Amino acid sequence: MAASTGPALLAGAITAANELIFAPVDGQKISFNWRLIPATGLWALALAGIEKVSPVFATGLAWLAVATIMIVPLGNAPTPLANVTKALGYAGKVTG
């Protein structure tokens, strides 16, 4: 297994869990985007191919994807950080 496969699958798993578990728990009505499954597989396969040329670049790109899915809404649900913030009661509060 390529070194970039783990982070690539982690990015897909976080996105899927966000749509299946975290968004509905937060009270949002969200339908699961089934295209996440083949897209995650193709992403991991593409990174494994890139890793043959440049292992450091492919692994870094995979971890960058994990960071990106935390702050950019890619599926039908808000970002995982937005859901966690709202679940903890911090959404909409102004400090200072």
Domain ranges of the chain: 5-87
Q: How much is the pLDDT for 18?
A: 84
Which position has the token pair 């968004």?
23
Average pLDDT, the chain: 85
Residue 60 has pLDDT above 60, yes or no: yes
| Model confidence pLDDT, tens digit, residues 24-59 | 765 667 677 888 899 999 999 999 999 999 999 999
pTM for this one? 0.81
* Alpha helices by DSSP H, 1-96: 5-17, 23-25, 36-53, 55-71, 80-87
> Average pLDDT in the 67-74 region?
89
Cα 37-43-48 angle, rounded to 5 deg: 130
DSSP 15-29: HHHIIIIIHHHTT--
